[in-house]
Structure 1
């Protein structure tokens, strides 16, 4: 028996988690000389590569190095590097100050502390996934797309309100609203998202755009989120034109539901990398089901005269789910997810093509 090995024990190699692999990729990226250590110069390169317009003073870099270099070797090994990136005193420096907001809407996991009784090695793991997805949040480039859209919607609403019209009948709304009698004005299939019926309608959409759309931009970048948003808007108007050919449409609900469904797509595609994926999935599914179910019940069972375009909500959600699977970032691709990607892309374009062709050639349906 080899010396130092206890009778009746089995040596089991530790398997790196996805979080370990995530930090290892970053560590290797900035370990320019591949010596397994981060030098002072390499540390400064990390800091200056972030979203700063100018270099940090050398004395600030000195303080960071002294704080992170636990063994005073003048270098950071991998363990010290990971500890530095998670140090609460340094998070603002490395662009992770956004974690305060992210972790305010996503619950923390409870760490599990395990110590091997033979070797004395200590390992801290999480009870639900690795949370690698949350590490991808970044403020650079800035997430301003949903903010700009929200500002435009507010400005246009205020302009119509200044004319005493807040029910989508003002001069701006008349140009942008989806009017079933003016379907030849193709821009209306998209621009209806910019006008709203009342303050409450506007505020609800703004809340989702800002508190869900902005975090999605931080991970997936603005152009991906914009594709999802516009896909939901277009799907909402096309589906409504086919199912309710006499209904007018106003509001960004199609795009908003696309964002909600896109987040569900993100949860599906990054299930193992997200914190509390099952809880997030159930919450969003419950909210969407209740909202759409209530609108359908009020219309067909209670026969209330209401103007909620539930078809636009539903179609926007379907588009957001399909396009979200197709364009949003997938941190770790698996074989079944590649097949799902193709299925989502083909199904979305097939449905959109049917909607466009029906609006062009099915003229008797709209008379």
Structure 2
């Protein structure tokens, strides 16, 4: 076997994909987790095939001698991959690898293909391969949405201690979006820290933690906070233009941005997700129920509610566009790059237009001036 073949593994997929395929097999049979495959562990691999469980020990010894290039008595990961791809050993490992890979990581194209690793035919699946789920991590810890939630609780409790839980306390008056004080620009963001009553606070806390923490575990805190704040800012800008007399409190713009961000990451990582269609339908159902309820209450029941549905809608649009722009895309494709550019350009166009309108469209806000 030439030396070049011994030091180089030809991998037709991306490095991330190849590591995923072979690491899963390597880790499964590295029973003691020491980063090496021993003789006993190698024998377990060979005897794990669904046929021919009676290979003699001398065959295992020959395989070990052939694959163990440094004569250490163990196979490291590089030697293991070379062994699995060695043309002389395909008769032993080919069927095993094809069966294992396609049971754990089904391919996406629903056609009969020749397996890229082993040369065996395999019928592939339309399901995602689960690469996205492999990215969940508890380190660094997902604490960004937790910190924001704690801040909201502390500020609400401060006003509650003053006997004010209806957004009339000193903190609420400083942070709420007040159409009469639009020149205090911080209010376009800080209204997310103000809540009208315990129920309003608890609902927002539960939803933003339930949706935000999983996003942080994959995409990291700074991406999630960008999405969240984009939804908050878009909600206040849109509300100020459509309902210039409305006060605004609550984190609903950010919450809806998180909902839409989940939809964005499903779109951009469709092929890498397990059960992507189910996840997408769940989030679309949540949004549809909320919008449907709002339309029904307003136009059929004629209820007057102090709910900023424009902030919800604007937050969702911002979350979708910013989510496409900043959240991780595990495998970039040409159409996804075009979608990325479209989302970025559209988001900045809408935000710039909203900011300029709030600054220069003075006639629109004259009726709310003090």
Deviates more, 1:91-100 or 1:208-217: 91-100
| Contact persistence 2:155–2:171 (CA under 8 A) | yes
Give, in angstroms, the shift of residue 167 of structure 1.
1.4
Give, in angstroms, the shift of residue 362 of structure 1.
0.7
| Contact persistence 2:256–2:313 (CA under 8 A) | yes
| Contact persistence 2:156–2:165 (CA under 8 A) | yes
Distance 1:92 1:157 in 2: 68
Are 1:3 and 2:3 an aligned pair? yes
Give per-residue Cα distances to partners, 1:195-228, cap 9 Å, x unaligned: 1111111111111221210110111110000100
Give, in angstroms, the shift of residue 337 of structure 1.
0.3
Deviates more, 1:13-22 or 1:95-104: 95-104
Judging changes above 3 Å, is the alpha-carbon distance between structure 1 residues 166 and 62 closer, same or farther for their aligned structure 2 residues?
A: farther
Higher helix share: 2
Distance 2:95 2:193 in 1: 33
- Residue 13 of structure 1 aligns with which residue? 12
Give, in angstroms, the shift of residue 75 of structure 1.
3.6
Deviates more, 1:53-62 or 1:282-291: 53-62
Deviates more, 1:233-242 or 1:197-206: 197-206
Deviates more, 1:93-102 or 1:338-347: 93-102
Normalised to the residue count of structure 1, the TM-score between the two structures is 0.71
| Contact persistence 2:110–2:125 (CA under 8 A) | yes
Deviates more, 1:194-203 or 1:144-153: 194-203
| Contact persistence 2:207–2:255 (CA under 8 A) | yes
Judging changes above 3 Å, is the alpha-carbon distance between structure 1 residues 196 and 45 closer, same or farther for their aligned structure 2 residues?
A: farther
- Residue 73 of structure 2 aligns with which residue? 74
Aligned 1:175-214 pairs, distance under 5 A: 175-214=174-213
Q: Which runs of 5+ in 1 are unaligned?
A: none
Distance 2:80 2:136 in 1: 19
Deviates more, 1:170-179 or 1:100-109: 100-109
Q: Which protein has the larger Cα radius of gyration, Structure 1 or Structure 2? A: 2
Give, in angstroms, the shift of residue 303 of structure 1.
2.4
Distance 1:56 1:157 in 2: 70
Judging changes above 3 Å, is the alpha-carbon distance between structure 1 residues 119 and 276 closer, same or farther for their aligned structure 2 residues?
A: closer
Normalised to the residue count of structure 2, the TM-score between the two structures is 0.71
Give, in angstroms, the shift of residue 3 of structure 1.
28
Judging changes above 3 Å, is the alpha-carbon distance between structure 1 residues 77 and 197 closer, same or farther for their aligned structure 2 residues?
A: same
Deviates more, 1:108-117 or 1:195-204: 108-117
Judging changes above 3 Å, is the alpha-carbon distance between structure 1 residues 124 and 301 closer, same or farther for their aligned structure 2 residues?
A: same
Distance 2:336 2:75 in 1: 37
Distance 1:257 1:162 in 2: 30
- Residue 238 of structure 2 aligns with which residue? 239
Judging changes above 3 Å, is the alpha-carbon distance between structure 1 residues 19 and 144 closer, same or farther for their aligned structure 2 residues?
A: farther
Judging changes above 3 Å, is the alpha-carbon distance between structure 1 residues 13 and 223 closer, same or farther for their aligned structure 2 residues?
A: closer
Deviates more, 1:52-61 or 1:335-344: 52-61
Deviates more, 1:244-253 or 1:9-18: 9-18
Query: Stretches of 4+ moved more than 6 A in 1?
Result: 1-4, 6-17, 25-73, 79-127
Deviates more, 1:194-203 or 1:17-26: 17-26
Judging changes above 3 Å, is the alpha-carbon distance between structure 1 residues 121 and 249 closer, same or farther for their aligned structure 2 residues?
A: same
Judging changes above 3 Å, is the alpha-carbon distance between structure 1 residues 115 and 22 closer, same or farther for their aligned structure 2 residues?
A: closer
| Contact persistence 1:51–1:95 (CA under 8 A) | no
| Contact persistence 2:105–2:129 (CA under 8 A) | no
Q: Which runs of 5+ in 2 are unaligned?
A: none
Judging changes above 3 Å, is the alpha-carbon distance between structure 1 residues 165 and 50 closer, same or farther for their aligned structure 2 residues?
A: farther
Distance 1:198 1:189 in 2: 20
Number of aligned positions between the proteins: 366
Judging changes above 3 Å, is the alpha-carbon distance between structure 1 residues 156 and 136 closer, same or farther for their aligned structure 2 residues?
A: same
| Contact persistence 1:18–1:130 (CA under 8 A) | no
Distance 2:98 2:3 in 1: 47
Deviates more, 1:66-75 or 1:196-205: 66-75
Tell me the SS of whatever aligns to 1:123: strand
The root-mean-square deviation of aligned C-alpha atoms, in Å, is 11.4
Tell me the SS of whatever aligns to 1:114: strand
Distance 2:54 2:178 in 1: 54
| Contact persistence 2:298–2:304 (CA under 8 A) | yes
Give, in angstroms, the shift of residue 292 of structure 1.
2.2
